[in-house]
Structure 1
């Protein structure tokens, strides 16, 4: 695994990508993030927003929306690897453990395959809290073949 950072241009082009490249980002889960995600998604399930309700569930307290945690993968794909210009085509997801307010989610995206002909890249997507796998899946993204020229 070769850990990379944001490309100076903002995004890697297809020809710069290879199997084994990876990027990570740590995102702190806050009450505010959960509230804003509920607003953006229109998902007001009380297991995410109401401690009294959530304390009576199998989770014994509030948990973050699964898709909020999954969206952290999108943050890496859109800003680091491949970065600017990458377009999501599909994503599989598996959720393994709940994420709670105060957790730090470590998101790791790694290149599994590069298809030069279709300009598509397959990415392994994983999320961890305290070293434990909380979610995983595979994304298929389209990546630009060249950078857009700078505007004068």
Structure 2
């Protein structure tokens, strides 16, 4: 398991296949409300317990993309970190995430294309030992750091 780079981000030459980073985030009522505001997604399965209790989920569930955004936090702040730019992301959702669940967002470097400075990342979201989502991201990574300002 790696830690954030002291400069804020890993450059291409510092990455290796197999590097792994994680972040754990608790899903709260507040996070769901903030995500609904930011995304304008007020689906009652996320917002209304009375409605959600009558669905196949038997209660409210978090937005899938809220949970997926925790993986984006890993990519932007730990691995590769500052300077990484998303080019694509695939996602598959396997189980619902509920208020109070702690989601572990895990990102693993699975391939590096040095010619294009693109890195393929395996992305997983877990609640306990249960895989709730997975997919693959492709990001562009800087080749060198910006010089410090004088």
State the TM-score, normalizing by the size of structure 1. 0.98
Q: Does 1:65 align with 2:63?
A: yes
Cα distance in 2 for partners of 1:94, 1:107 equals 14
Q: What residue number does 2:113 align with?
A: 115
Following superposition, the deviation at residue 121 of structure 1 comes to: 0.1
Alignment partner of 1:39 out of 37, 49, 66: 37
Cα distance in 2 for partners of 1:135, 1:151 equals 41
Q: What residue number does 2:124 align with?
A: 126
CA RMSD of aligned residues (A): 0.4
Q: Write out the 4+ residue segments of structure 1 that deviate beyond 6 Å after TM superposition.
A: none
Q: Name stretches of at least 5 consecutive residues in structure 2 with no aligned partner.
A: none
State the TM-score, normalizing by the size of structure 2. 0.99
Alignment size in residue pairs: 150
Following superposition, the deviation at residue 89 of structure 1 comes to: 0.2
Helix, strand or coil for the counterpart of 1:93? strand
